[in-house]
Amino acid sequence: MSTPQDLDDRLRAELAALGAPDQRRDLGEPLPEGGPLTGAQALALFDAQSTSRLLDLAGRWLSGFGEGYFTIESAGHEGDAAVAAALRPTDPALLHARSGAFYCLRAAQAAGAFPAAPPHLIPTAPDLPAATGADADPQDPGTSWSESAPVRAVPHQDLDAEPGEREADSLPVGAGVVVDADGDATVGVPDLPQPAPDDAFAAAARDVLRGIVASAEEPAAGGRAKVFGRADLAVVPTTSTAGSHLPRAVGLGLALERLRRGARPADGAAEAASWPADAVVVCSFDDGAINQATATAALNTTGWYDHTGLRIPVLFVCADGDASEGWVAAALRSRPGIRYFGADGTDVAATYRVAAEAADWVRRQRRPAVLHLSAVRLTEPGDGDAARDPLLATARLLVTSGYASGEELLARYDERGWQLRRVAEEVLDEPKLASPVEIVRELAPRRPVRVSRAVAEAGARAAGPAAGARAEAFGGKPPELTGRLTLAQSITAALADGMLDHPGMAVFGQEVAARGGAHGVTGGLRDRFGAARVFDTLPDETSILGLGLGAGLAGLLPVPEIRHLASLHGAEDQLRGEAATMRFLSRGAFRNPMVVRVAGLAAPEGLGGHDHNDNSLGALRDVPGLVVAVPARPDDAAPMLRTCLAAARVDGSVCVFVEPVALYHVRDLHTEGDEGWTAEYAEPGAWGDRHVPIGRARVYGVGSAEDLTIITFGNGVRMSLRAAATLAEEGVGSRVVDLRWLAPLPTADIIREASATGRVLVVDETRRSGGVGEGVLSALVDTGYVGAARRVAGLDSFVPLGPAARQVLVSAEAITQGARTLLAR
């Protein structure tokens, strides 16, 4: 294992020992023997790699005196600078934590500081137009380097020889003939230019150093985390969880291709216009991530979509330290539907050539590929192969090709070091986040007035200019004219109305198109809105959520379905680590609006908790910023779904819409045929008046409503209303509070209704430990409630099979008995 300082000392010694080239070449010339780069480009790659290496050193230096908070090094992975060079700065990039050189080169590209290649060196696809406008490189190759640098006289071939006797028929680009006092002629080429104090690489270093010291001026997360991300560089911030960003990359690729083929983004989605129609998604990861479930799911889903004919223009880039002795290569080569490219990641010329070929293939074919780069981990145990240092390899290339001497490159490296030292000292003085408000400001903004207005405007459109199209979509009979609806029917109608109003809305999941989903809720939507907007996925929840994450990032409005709450748990980090953090990690520059529908809570079939009956909601309520909605009645379900869709559009909210499967098709409340659990669907003109804001409860009065407050949600609402009817016969008046929103909790409504009676019974169908009831009781304590309180909750147990489930779940009888016990105090 080498320390960063050991690595630096060794690199400096190696650079000094490289000597001078036998023959000097101008930077504007291409590499000898037909290489794919010019000298100027190779030097820019050296600059990106040097900057990244020096950032490793700066991170350790800062942490040494308590001012740096991130020390994951990119040393050995710097070959990915050539990958960045082979792509366009408008191609969205999702980078892993060792992608420092990629980020630095991307910043230089965007600033116009990466020299353009001569036309014959640019790999282009015959069926794509040449880059123009923002995609064109504004720098003219071979001029800026030679015009701005002094000319040095160096020995060259005999200028008096005949053309056929010379080594070349023409002078190097930018060269000049210098004749000394004795009449001897030599060819002069420009000196190696020194980096400007505040060039593009210094600016990129400033970005990274700001992240390392948690500066509030950091352009991605604003001091909240250390990430590679910047909206104007099309670099999407990702968490450091290995491979967790790959499913999003797949979703983004699929969404971009759908947009290219005519899909319309959601209203106000500026993100959709950020990338050109022929953009490709690049997603980098290292060899450790290949074994993660998220990476396996992403690669499998990509191959499956390609197998079915759907195009996903994504380039996966795997940096492989070969710790697994060939396993990564075998795993990547065997992936069906994903074209394999491989290159030595320590050789920038080879990497650039293969990366350009791979990127060009993905761009032309609109199909997925993987670029497998060999790499080294130079500062980790068991991987100290300094001879394969990619930065040293680039330096050797520059010297042996005649562009620079080792001493010049060492001086350039040292100049970069002083440059970064100055920047590091400057960012230390920048402000840090200093208040809770600053930290959470971009976590999950809530603009309820705008959301309410969006719902009312949707109703006005449906009742006005879109009325004809709406009537046609519903077969001439809109849902408000079909009589009383069940919970499932109300959700189906609201989904259809959402699809009509939001052109960018897409509904997808396992069998949601072919069979209407697990419970028939999405039945008929594909026939109304087409297979491009309502489609089936693989039965893999990680990939389903990843598709939603990518679609939201592209400007669409995804509404994925998860068949059962039990199925969600294996994929929850796509919500926790990816969805909920996007605004937090990008200061709101990126967002992933999404409404995830989940069938959950106790089921009537008697199936065990590891299949359908699952009452675990704690993991969702624990995610900062996530909206968790649980509609119990049909006349709440449609308004709440409209609120979630509007919040996703207006605020970029990530909402989980948990639908109580046991209540989907229930019609009665107290007695058979009373239709007490059905409701009429509101006509569009009434949507604004019946809007249900996030975090507002619903209260039912039973009897005098003065003796007891029952606070509950989901299945507990129906059971509590039945229990309240029984208590009313005993002379006890109750008010039943349906929370409706489990995150954020309707705290104001809880306190008001609890204080009205002074006796609170919390009915929680989740578990006693970590359940919703704990949150309700905490809200009461935090606000000074002094009345009596009691809980009726599910046991701390998994849900067993068959009738035994009734022994651990809440029942109407248990609620009634709990109320009597509380009233007897």
Residue 25 has pLDDT above 80, yes or no: yes
Question: Does the N-terminal peptide bond of residue 744 adopt cis geometry, omega within 30 degrees of 0?
Answer: yes
Distance separating alpha carbons of residues 54 and 47, to the nearest angstrom: 10
Residue 449 has pLDDT above 60, yes or no: yes
The pLDDT of residue 275 is: 84
Beta strand 708-712 with 698-702: parallel, antiparallel or unpaired? Answer: unpaired
Helix, strand, coil % over all residues of the chain, rounded to 5? 45, 15, 40
**What local confidence, expressed as pLDDT, does residue 22 receive?**
86
Copy the structure tokens of residue 179: 């004749």
For the segment 719-740, the average pLDDT, to the nearest whole number, is 96
DSSP bridge pairs for 432: 215
201, 203, 208, 211 alpha-carbon torsion, rounded to 10°: 180
Lowest mean pLDDT among 65-74, 161-170, 604-613, 806-815: 161-170
- H helices of 389-466, in order, are 390-400, 406-428, 436-440, 448-463
pLDDT digits (tens, 9 = 90+) for 574-605: 999 899 999 999 988 999 999 999 999 988 77
Task: Please tell me the predicted confidence (pLDDT) of residue 125.
Answer: 43
What is the C-alpha to C-alpha distance for residues 234 and 247, in angstroms, rounded to an integer?
18
| Entry field: residues in the chain | 825
What single DSSP character describes residue 683?
A: P
- Sequential DSSP letters for 561-620: EES-HHHHGGGTHIIIIIITTHHHHHTTSS---EEEEEEEB--TT---TTTT-B---HHH
Q: Is 600 in contact with 453 (CB distance < 8 Å)?
A: no
Is 90 exceeded by the pLDDT of residue 669?
Answer: yes
Q: What pLDDT does 169 receive?
A: 42
Mean pLDDT of the chain: 88
Q: Report pLDDT for 602.
A: 86
On whether the CB atoms of residues 299 and 316 are closer than 8 A, the answer is yes
Instruction: Of 304, 297, 242, 799, give the one whose Cα is nearest residue 571.
Output: 297
pLDDT of amino acid 408? 95
Query: Which tokens sit at 492?
Result: 């189906």
Residue 117 confidence (pLDDT): 75
Burial degree of 480 (CB within 10 A; 0-12, 13-18, 19+): middle
Q: Which two tokens stand for residue 241?
A: 């969880």
pLDDT at 615: 82
Angle between helices 487-501 and 448-463 (to 10 degrees): 90
Instruction: In whole angstroms, give the CA distance from residue 236 to residue 284.
Output: 12
Does the pLDDT value for residue 453 go beyond 80? yes
Query: For residues 525 and 71, what is the distance between their CA atoms, to the nearest angstrom?
Result: 50
- For the ranges 520-529, 570-579, 601-610, the lowest mean pLDDT is seen at 601-610
pLDDT digits (tens, 9 = 90+) for 407-418: 999 999 999 999
Mean pLDDT value across residues 416-445 = 91
What's the token pair of residue 93? 């990039």
Is the pLDDT at 333 greater than 50? The verdict is yes
What confidence category does residue 383 fall into, taking pLDDT thresholds of 50, 70 and 90? low
Q: What is the pLDDT of residues 762-790, one digit of tens each?
A: 999 999 999 999 999 999 999 999 999 99
pLDDT for res 529: 95
How large is the average pLDDT for residues 643-647?
Answer: 98
Q: Are 343 and 370 in contact (CB under 8 A)?
A: no
Query: Confidence band (pLDDT; 50, 70, 90) for 103?
Result: very high
Rounded to two decimals, the pTM is 0.88
Question: What's the average model confidence in pLDDT over 721-731?
Answer: 96
Q: Would you place residue 377 in the very low, low, confident or very high pLDDT band (cuts 50, 70, 90)?
A: confident
Structure tokens at 651: 């605020």
pLDDT at 614: 79
**612-638: per-residue pLDDT in tens?**
767 889 889 999 999 999 999 999 999
Which range among 188-192, 521-525, 673-677, 781-785 shows the weakest confidence by mean pLDDT? 188-192
Residue 132: pLDDT over 50: no
CA 280 remoteness from chain centre: 16
Tell which wins on pLDDT, 153 or 424: 424
As a whole number of angstroms, the distance between CA 641 and CA 598 comes to 12
For the chain, how far is it from start to end, CA to CA, in angstroms?
A: 68
Name residue 813's beta-bridge partners: none
Two tokens at 32? 């000898």
User: What confidence tier does 143 reach under pLDDT thresholds 50, 70, 90?
Assistant: very low
- Choose between 117 and 686: higher pLDDT: 686
pLDDT for the residue numbered 7: 85
Mean pLDDT of 471-488: 95
In this prediction, residue 208 carries a pLDDT of: 95
- The pLDDT score that the predictor gives to residue 33 is 82
> Is residue 187's pLDDT more than 90?
no
Largest pairwise CA distance in the chain = 121
